[in-house]
Structure 1
Amino acid sequence: MSRQVRRAILGDIESLLQIDPVAGRDDSRRKYIARAVRAGECWVVYEKNDPGGPIGYGCLDRSFFGEWFIPLVVVSSEIRRSGAGRQIVSYMERHSSAEKIFTSTNVSNLPMRRLLEGLGYQHSGRVENLDPGDPELVFVKFLS
């Protein structure tokens, strides 16, 4: 299967809400997704033969102390670990003006940690007390 990435459009919001398991139970996540799409800070990956049906998405903004930050990467549960997440992150790296990009994930999120390490991100810090018993690890990648 051939996949492509494009900037999310307003018509994608409902599909993104459907593939994001947190959005179904968290109103703030639904609002965040809609805001990111409207702000042009969200990209979707889709099967080349179905451009209207996103199978994953990622967001990139300047929310981390004014630095580029990837706050969210979500891939449909049916195709996780198939390279879609890697494709979204790589696309955002290539199409940003960033010299470095930060992101974070919980200690417990081993698939995301492996994805980041495989893309050359390095550990940059640790934040306690966001999720009880599951610290947040901060990563950075220098692009220039």
Structure 2
Amino acid sequence: MSLSIRQALTEDIHHLTGIDAVARNDERRREQLAQAIRARECWIACKANDAAAPLGYGCLDRSFFGEYFIPLVVVSDASRRTGVGRQLMTHLERVASAQKVFTSTNTSNLPMRQLLAQLGYQHSGTIENLDPGDPELVFVKFMR
């Protein structure tokens, strides 16, 4: 699939919450997303011929002990397993232009864990007690 990835704009928030089931129901997630957009830390993946209809989005910041961190990658239900998440991750790695990039996901998120393994991320630690019974796994990718 041919994608275009661009920085999110304030007016995109409605479209992004439309593809993010958590943001539709969680005010904290909507505020996190709005803050990332205001800080210019959010990128949207769209079909190359339709830049107004997002297929997914990803955020990149320096919130993890001053290191580059990808806190969110969300892909619409209809676009999962089509390469959108992979292209977003690769784009965020390029934007970071750092020696290493961190991210995390719940133990239960097998599709994300598989994607991270395919992209060369290594397990870097585990955080207990964020989501009861579903530890957060931290990953790092050392860039060449």
2:68 counterpart of 1:68: yes
Higher helix share: 2
Q: Let me know the Cα RMSD of the aligned residues.
A: 0.8
**1:112 aligned residue:** 112
Equivalent position amino acid for 2:127 in 1: V
Equivalent position amino acid for 2:125 in 1: G
Deviation at 1:99, TM superposition (A): 1.3
In the TM superposition, 1:1-144 aligns within 5 A as 1-144=1-144
Deviation at 1:137, TM superposition (A): 0.5
Gap runs ≥5 in structure 1 = none
Secondary structure of the equivalent of 1:98? coil
Q: 4+ runs of 1 displaced by more than 4 Å?
A: none
TM-score by length of 1: 0.97
Gap runs ≥5 in structure 2 = none
User: Within 1, Cα distance between the matches of 2:138 and 2:100?
Assistant: 13
User: Within 2, Cα distance between the matches of 1:29 and 1:50?
Assistant: 26
Aligned length: 144
